[in-house]
């Protein structure tokens, strides 16, 4: 099996998701992050790394290692499912703020919780992903200190490439308390970093995530604006969804031209999602090591039309369920009906299939002498053993056919 001995071993083998943790660890003078021709944010070493620096990267990079919920977070209230891992509670939830609920993806749960934490002074800021105000089709990590900061930055679903952890060390250097909102792979990197940097657990008080369908390559967004003969530099607004649930894929140019496309029309053909290769072999797209994960609640996995916006939430830790309960009591979050695992499977059939497929996909890569992320406490081998053998064979062969696309 191929070994990972350099940063290029991670990027060249399709293991890098562009999260930015490597740059945060060693600085912008040693690693730069830029958009590749394939439409991926990728790091490049511009000044030699020491052995110690690269070892830190290997210990945290979600392309190298991904683990489930730490055992210290499991308690007597924890339930367990072979696919979905540990959880405390499952229920519908959404923001009580009508504007947040309307403008956000789904029901605005993560924005509602973030606002609660800010306005009750439990944290000093939120570290999350936002639209780049100068290049609205691109994303930037953002520190939000107020409701205005949080909501006036196109922070709802950002399906394209993003490097939210590129500023994580900067967040720690503030010596202030904050919450991180990001993808499951980002959360994984933070959990790993907490093992070697004691500041993480003292300052990053909550890890909030979403059940993730994958990060699309930038070319997907480029093709969307190209279909309307719009150039990137002409954009004033670029919105993947929101302003309704799911809302429209929407753009507006600086001279006032507007174009949109329905959600299912843009995302309906899964073969054209252009999801990053790393996402196809992701062992945890469901936020197993987060405090809580928010998800869409469309039966069968796709919207049948517009609705008010109802998140489901998987509360995984005691900290996560306490945050939800406190925000509900304070009037920031509305709690809906309780849910069960069958409901979650119905809402997220794509995730159910991916979790079943991932170990077979890893086997396919290993047989081609390619590296895969090291995993712990994610049960992917156990799930594989419970699968139909034909299913496993198809997934193993399928990933082999995709190797050339890395």
Question: pLDDT (tens digit, 9 = 90+) per residue, 347-360?
Answer: 999 999 999 999 99
pLDDT in tens, 273-308: 789 999 999 999 999 999 999 999 999 998 888 888
**d(C-alpha 390, C-alpha 370), whole Å:** 23
- Asked whether residue 273 is assigned to any structural domain, the reply reads yes
What pLDDT is attached to residue 151?
Answer: 87
- Asked whether residue 356 is assigned to any structural domain, the reply reads no
pLDDT in tens, 238-249: 998 888 888 889
- Asked whether residue 9 is assigned to any structural domain, the reply reads no
**d(C-alpha 151, C-alpha 33), whole Å:** 26
Number of domains present in the structure of the chain: 1
- Asked whether residue 366 is assigned to any structural domain, the reply reads no
193 lies in which domain range?
A: 19-348
Q: How distant, in Å, are the alpha carbons of 52, 143, 198, 385 from that of 168? A: 19, 10, 14, 38
**d(C-alpha 244, C-alpha 301), whole Å:** 17
The residue among 379 and 270 whose pLDDT is bigger is 379
- Asked whether residue 405 is assigned to any structural domain, the reply reads no
What pLDDT is attached to residue 271?
Answer: 66
Q: Are 182 and 209 in contact (CB under 8 A)?
A: yes
Q: Which residue has the tokens 């995530």?
A: 209
Tell me: pLDDT of 156 over 80: no
- Asked whether residue 283 is assigned to any structural domain, the reply reads yes
Question: For 245, which DSSP code?
Answer: B
What pLDDT is attached to residue 256?
Answer: 97
- Asked whether residue 389 is assigned to any structural domain, the reply reads no
- Asked whether residue 10 is assigned to any structural domain, the reply reads no
3-state secondary structure of 208: strand
């Amino acid at each position: 099996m191929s070994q990972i001995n350099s940063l290029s071993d991670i990027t060249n083998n399709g293991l890098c998701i562009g999260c930015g943790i490597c740059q945060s660890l060693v600085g912008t003078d040693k690693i730069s992050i830029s958009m590749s021709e394939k439409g991926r944010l990728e790091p490049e070493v511009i000044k030699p790394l020491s052995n110690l620096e690269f070892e830190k990267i290997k210990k945290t990079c979600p392309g190298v290692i991904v683990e489930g919920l730490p055992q210290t977070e499991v308690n007597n209230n924890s339930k367990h499912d072979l696919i979905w891992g540990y959880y405390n509670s499952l229920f519908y939830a959404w923001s009580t703020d009508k504007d947040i609920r309307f403008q956000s993806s789904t029901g605005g749960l993560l924005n509602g919780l973030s606002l609660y934490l800010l306005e009750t002074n439990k944290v000093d800021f939120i570290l999350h992903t936002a639209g780049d105000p100068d290049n609205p089709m691109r994303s930037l990590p953002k520190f939000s200190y107020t409701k205005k900061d949080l909501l006036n930055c196109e922070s709802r679903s950002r399906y394209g490439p993003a490097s939210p952890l590129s500023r994580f060390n900067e967040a720690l250097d503030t010596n202030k308390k904050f919450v991180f909102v990001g993808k499951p792979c980002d959360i994984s990197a933070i959990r790993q970093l907490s093992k070697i940097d004691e500041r993480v657990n003292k300052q990053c008080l909550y890890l909030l995530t979403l059940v993730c369908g994958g990060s699309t390559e930038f070319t997907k967004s480029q093709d969307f604006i190209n279909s309307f003969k719009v150039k990137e530099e002409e954009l004033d607004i670029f919105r993947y969804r929101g302003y309704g649930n799911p809302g429209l894929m929407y753009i507006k140019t600086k001279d006032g031209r507007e174009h949109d496309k329905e959600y299912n029309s843009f995302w309906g053909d899964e073969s054209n999602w252009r999801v990053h290769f790393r996402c196809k072999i992701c062992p945890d797209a469901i936020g197993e090591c987060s405090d809580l994960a928010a998800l869409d609640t469309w039966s069968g996995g796709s919207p049948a039309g517009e609705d008010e916006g109802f998140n489901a939430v998987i509360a995984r830790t005691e900290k996560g369920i306490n945050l939800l309960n406190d925000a509900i009591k304070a009037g920031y979050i509305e709690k809906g009906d309780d849910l069960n695992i069958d409901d979650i499977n119905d809402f997220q059939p794509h995730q159910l299939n991916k979790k079943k497929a991932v170990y077979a996909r890893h086997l396919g890569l290993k047989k081609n002498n390619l590296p895969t992320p090291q995993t712990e406490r994610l049960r992917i081998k156990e799930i594989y053993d419970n699968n139909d053998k034909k299913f496993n064979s198809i997934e193993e062969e399928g990933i082999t056919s995709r190797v050339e696309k890395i």
